[in-house]
């Protein structure tokens, strides 16, 4: 029996695609500033970390290149982090569109998630390709691990961002609270270290940080899988799904309030 796509589903796809195109034009259509910043943020972070730690340590925790080590950590983290912040503000930024009956809060969230995901995939390619080509000894690339890491980062960022959007509708101060709560995440997400380096006393607790799994998955694409690493795609997808469903429930309960945000 063949599955039939209903008109309602086709309308939803068209609405999300149209909203994503509108977001693209609003963000990138008038100047190169948006593209430049999307590239400058990871490049600046990678350069700063590589330079700083090259003076502190004789070699990176994996491989021989500080640049590749930190690039493989920063890229998936920024993808996740950008999604959580961008989706939290998606409803407020598109509040005028929600007055149209065909546009739902979830549509604008999914449209922005699509744009952010595609943007960061392009950024990953633009940043990682020259880094790899500049290596004296080219690493054995495993594209499937890199693709999996980006997919996990997108799923986790979409889940957390959707929940953030719902919480921001309920508590307007949630944006400031999230800004404070998310700052330490950079330190505990494996960008500066590997799972193998974690002291045994902390390993059990840090295993539950899904972003660490995303970063370790990306590094497996450049340095090979680590038997002692934290790489569990089912765990990350489960967390992402739970956050996304919780966000949808909150958003549906706050739909009227979102028009007044």
At 83-117, the pLDDT tens digits run 999 999 887 777 777 777 788 888 889 999 998 99
The pLDDT assigned to 84 comes to 94
The answer to whether the CB of 164 falls within 8 A of the CB of 190 is no
C-beta neighbour count of 4 within 10 angstroms: 6
Angle between helices 105-133 and 7-28 (to 10 degrees): 60
The pLDDT assigned to 5 comes to 46
The pLDDT assigned to 91 comes to 78
Burial of 135 (0-12, 13-18, 19+ CB in 10 A): middle
Measured CA to CA, the distance from residue 194 to residue 212 in angstroms comes to 9
C-beta neighbour count of 1 within 10 angstroms: 3
Measured CA to CA, the distance from residue 145 to residue 133 in angstroms comes to 18
Structure-model confidence comparison of residues 115 and 52, the more confident one = 115
C-beta neighbour count of 57 within 10 angstroms: 10
- Residue whose token pair is 């490049």: 43
Distance of alpha carbon 119 from its chain centroid, rounded? Answer: 11
Measured CA to CA, the distance from residue 41 to residue 192 in angstroms comes to 17
Tokens of 68: 């590749």
Least confident of 28-42, 84-98, 142-156: 28-42
Structure-model confidence comparison of residues 207 and 40, the more confident one = 207
Structure-model confidence comparison of residues 43 and 205, the more confident one = 205
Kindly tell me the number of DSSP H helices and DSSP E strands found in the chain.
Answer: 11, 0
Q: Is the pLDDT of residue 237 over 90?
A: yes
Structure-model confidence comparison of residues 103 and 130, the more confident one = 130
Tokens of 81: 């982090």
The answer to whether the CB of 145 falls within 8 A of the CB of 230 is no
Tokens of 11: 């309308």
Tokens of 8: 């309602």
Measured CA to CA, the distance from residue 129 to residue 133 in angstroms comes to 6
Measured CA to CA, the distance from residue 71 to residue 67 in angstroms comes to 6
Q: Nearest-5° angle of CA 187, CA 172, CA 86?
A: 50
The pLDDT assigned to 245 comes to 96
Least confident of 44-48, 52-56, 124-128: 52-56
Q: Is the pLDDT of residue 232 over 90?
A: yes
Q: Is the pLDDT of residue 33 over 70?
A: no
Measured CA to CA, the distance from residue 244 to residue 160 in angstroms comes to 7
The pLDDT assigned to 148 comes to 97
Q: Is the pLDDT of residue 41 over 90?
A: no
Task: Please count the CA atoms within 13 angstroms of the CA of 6 that sit on its side-chain side.
Answer: 3
CA distances from 236 to 32, 72, 159, 213 (A): 34, 18, 10, 7
């Amino acid at each position: 029996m063949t599955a039939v796509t209903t008109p309602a589903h086709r309308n939803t796809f068209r609405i999300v695609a149209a909203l994503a195109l509108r977001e693209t034009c609003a963000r990138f259509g008038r100047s190169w500033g948006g593209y430049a910043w999307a590239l400058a943020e990871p490049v600046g972070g990678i350069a700063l970390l590589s330079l700083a730690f090259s003076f502190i340590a004789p070699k990176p925790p994996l491989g021989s290149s500080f640049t590749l080590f930190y690039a493989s950590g920063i890229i998936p983290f920024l993808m996740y982090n950008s999604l959580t912040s961008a989706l939290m503000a998606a409803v407020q930024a598109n509040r005028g569109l929600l007055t149209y009956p065909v546009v739902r809060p979830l549509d604008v969230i999914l449209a922005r998630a699509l744009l952010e995901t595609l943007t960061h995939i392009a950024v990953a390619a633009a940043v990682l390709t020259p880094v790899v080509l500049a290596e004296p000894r080219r690493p054995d690339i495993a594209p499937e691990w890199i693709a999996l890491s980006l997919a996990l980062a997108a799923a986790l960022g979409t889940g957390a961002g959707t929940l953030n959007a719902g919480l921001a509708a309920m508590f307007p101060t949630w944006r400031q609270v999230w800004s404070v709560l998310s700052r330490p995440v950079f330190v505990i997400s494996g960008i500066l270290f590997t799972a193998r380096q974690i002291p045994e006393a902390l390993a059990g607790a840090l295993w539950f940080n899904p972003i660490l799994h995303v970063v370790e998955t990306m590094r497996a694409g450049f340095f090979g899988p680590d038997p002692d690493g934290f790489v569990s795609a089912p765990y990350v997808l489960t967390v992402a799904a739970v956050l996304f469903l919780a966000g949808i429930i909150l958003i549906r309960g706050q739909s009227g309030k979102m028009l007044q945000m």
